[in-house]
Amino acid sequence: MKNKLYISIILVAAIVVVINLISQSLIFRLDFSADKQYTLSKATKDLLKGLSETVTVKAYFSEDLPPEEIKGKNDFKDILVEYNRRSKGMVVYTFVNPNEKEEVEQEAMQAGVQPRTINTNQKDQFKLQKIYTGAVISMGEKKEVIPLIQPGISLEYSLSKAIKKLSVKDKPSIGLLQGHGEPSIQEIIQVYNEMSVLYNIEPLTLNDTSSIPDRLKTIIIIRPKDTIPQKHFVQLDNFLSRGGKMFIAFSRVNANLQNAYGGLLTNGLDSWLKGKGILVSNNIVIDASCSAVQVVQQQGGFKMVSNIQFPYFPVIKSFAKHPISGSLEVIAMPFVSPIEYIGDASKKFTPIAFTSEKSGMELLPVYFNIQKQWTQSDFQKKNIVIAATLEGKLAGNTDSKIVVIGDADFIINGNQNQAQQLNPDNINLMANSIDWLSDDTGLIGLRSKVVTARPIKEISDATKSTLKWVNFLLPIILVLVYGFVRAQMKRNQRIKRMEESYV
């Protein structure tokens, strides 16, 4: 009997050991998030498989973090575990607390991980706490930094981008067209910083004697203000004829808010695009879904600053399921013009961004009436196309691609004296476009993987009222029903006990 017991114990122990050994090689996670935030993409997996040198991640996180910061730390640790496993040990990591030692704190700050000061509630008292939440990724002598790690950022994209930047050897070259009044690199610095991870962005000035260099894979054209010579269009056609790609952010509006006037901008680009089947019309879009502008108004003896909805600044929330736009959510698109296709079926035209259900158009030039009382009759159109792609034989006999946006202001930061921070999805729209045109690594799908905004859908007043009363009355009704059912059960029990047959 004892021998059988010993054998059973040994068998159970052996089974447990075997299960543990098998489970170590069969690690998996179930991801129920809507956009698969916790599932590594094929692009990341391919990147990790191709590593030829060890990547070291040094994460700087303070101890005793508040709950929301702890979540960011745990998420980062989970993804590092997955990177280590997928890379077969080529990604190694360590966590350190910079607050413990002064030399570690100095090391973190010198590497680019800067402290933040937050308010914490300890024993019913508010206290300022200096915390670190960042990481340094290194490969050999090269280093990249993620200065801030917290819930809401795309951890996979930030980490994969850093590893890609460290491991890439030959970046594709992208030309930024100059010489016709286009913005310089400094005026699009945010998107430049984003794209320079994977590409060499270099100014491109066309002349009559030399052709566009073969090393350029894509050309970026942003808001030329001056007339482009016909000879330059011939060079651009020659570039397309050898399979070159183009991104065109095209403004038809020369806007001046101080003078409340929007003139028609002509540079020859409209005629060139029209010859390929893309018509950017002489109209400006107005949309009920729009941003506000600050207006100084005189009230009595005082000047008051108020925010007024400005339909000439559409907020775009409708996007096609396309690699460029499928993960975008909200884009601010000031002074945008509509795009339509007038070509034949030999080319593939794909709209990727649209206005709202309540939008319209005004013929240029226009005067901006800040005080205008807008009504539903002003917005008789819907889903106007403001961004699109065109594929096919656009010049010559070789297939090529063009991305056209009916606006350029959405991506321009301005000069140093008037620099502005752009909405993240504004940057993503252009960066995704360049990736779609130039890159085949698949990192395009990671940039917008984390949700940046989840706007609540508009509902009618009747629906709002119904939901409010349901929310108020339903708990009360449930309590009353529960009390009634319980009272009936007790009553039935008392009646049953009063019967003669009850024992």
| Residues 177 and 152 both lie in one domain | no
Instruction: Please give the tally of structural domains in the chain.
Output: 2
| Residues 218 and 148 both lie in one domain | no
Measured at the CA of 309, the angle between CA 405 and CA 182, to 5 degrees, comes to 30
Residue 17 lies in a domain: no
Residue 490 lies in a domain: no
pLDDT, one tens digit per residue, over 26-64 is: 555 555 555 556 678 788 888 898 888 999 999 999 988
Residue 366 lies in a domain: yes
| Residues 271 and 402 both lie in one domain | yes
Least confident of 31-40, 174-183, 233-242, 410-419: 31-40
Q: Which domain holds residue 285?
A: 173-441
Alpha carbons 155 and 153: distance in angstroms, whole number: 6
pLDDT, one tens digit per residue, over 199-217 is: 899 999 998 778 899 999 8
Between residues 466 and 248, which one has the greater pLDDT? 248
Residue 497 lies in a domain: no
Alpha carbons 286 and 267: distance in angstroms, whole number: 23
Residue 480 lies in a domain: no
3-state secondary structure 448-467: CCCCCCCCCCCCCHHHHHHH
pLDDT of residue 5: 63
pLDDT of residue 32: 53
Nearest to 449 by CA among 71, 112, 75: 75
Confidence of residue 4 (pLDDT cuts 50, 70, 90): low
Nearest to 329 by CA among 341, 344, 338, 319: 319
| Residues 86 and 107 both lie in one domain | yes
Between residues 305 and 247, which one has the greater pLDDT? 247
Residue 499 lies in a domain: no
The residue to which tokens 């009920």 are assigned: 288
Could you give the C-alpha distances from 254 to 260, 294, 396, 409, in angstroms and in order?
11, 20, 33, 10
| Residues 148 and 278 both lie in one domain | no
Greatest mean pLDDT among 65-74, 99-108, 388-397, 482-491 lies in 388-397
For residue 110, the domain's CATH number is 3.40.30.10
Nearest to 99 by CA among 109, 86, 89: 109
Confidence of residue 451 (pLDDT cuts 50, 70, 90): very low
Orientation angle between helical segments 67-86 and 155-167, nearest 10 degrees: 40
Average pLDDT, the chain: 85
Burial of 278 (0-12, 13-18, 19+ CB in 10 A): buried
Between residues 436 and 443, which one has the greater pLDDT? 436
Least confident of 96-105, 136-145, 294-303: 294-303
pLDDT, one tens digit per residue, over 273-302 is: 999 999 998 999 999 999 988 877 666 666
Whether pLDDT at 14 is above 80: no
Nearest to 404 by CA among 360, 350, 442: 350
| φ, ψ dihedrals at 312, nearest 5° | -80, -5
Helices (H), 168-308: 189-195, 230-241, 269-274
The residue to which tokens 């003078």 are assigned: 259
Q: What letter represents residue 382's amino acid?
A: K
Report percent pLDDT > 90 for the chain: 46
pLDDT of residue 156: 86
| Residues 180 and 322 both lie in one domain | yes
| Residues 308 and 332 both lie in one domain | yes
Render the burial of 238-258: b for 16+ CB within 10 Å, e for the rest: ebbeeebbbbbbbbbbbbeee
| Residues 123 and 48 both lie in one domain | yes
Whether pLDDT at 2 is above 60: no
Residue 181 lies in a domain: yes
Helices (H), 365-460: 424-438
Q: Within 10 A of 457 (CB to CB), how many other CB atoms are there?
A: 5
pLDDT of residue 457: 55
How much is the average pLDDT of 136-153?
86
Q: Structure tokens of 195?
A: 């794209």
| Residues 218 and 348 both lie in one domain | yes
**Which of 165, 194, 217 finishes a domain?**
165
CA-atom Rg of the chain in angstroms: 30
Between residues 262 and 157, which one has the greater pLDDT? 262
How long is the chain?
503
Q: Any residues with CB less than 8 A from the CB of 230 and at least 6 apart, and which?
A: 268
Distance of CA 480 to the CA centre of its chain: 48
| Residues 225 and 157 both lie in one domain | no
Residue 338 lies in a domain: yes
Between residues 108 and 458, which one has the greater pLDDT? 108
Greatest mean pLDDT among 106-110, 300-304, 463-467 lies in 106-110
Confidence of residue 197 (pLDDT cuts 50, 70, 90): confident
**Which of 396, 425, 441 finishes a domain?**
441
pLDDT of residue 278: 96
Greatest mean pLDDT among 37-51, 136-150, 221-235, 487-501 lies in 221-235
Q: Within 10 A of 57 (CB to CB), how many other CB atoms are there?
A: 23
| Residues 427 and 282 both lie in one domain | yes
| Residues 146 and 181 both lie in one domain | no
Nearest to 164 by CA among 189, 139, 147, 140: 139
Between residues 24 and 350, which one has the greater pLDDT? 350
* C-alpha dihedral sign at 390, 392, 394, 399: positive
**Which of 165, 190, 224 finishes a domain?**
165
pLDDT of residue 223: 93
For residue 431, the domain's CATH number is 3.40.50
At 142 the three-state DSSP class reads strand
pLDDT of residue 450: 54
pLDDT, one tens digit per residue, over 155-182 is: 888 898 889 888 887 888 999 999 999 9
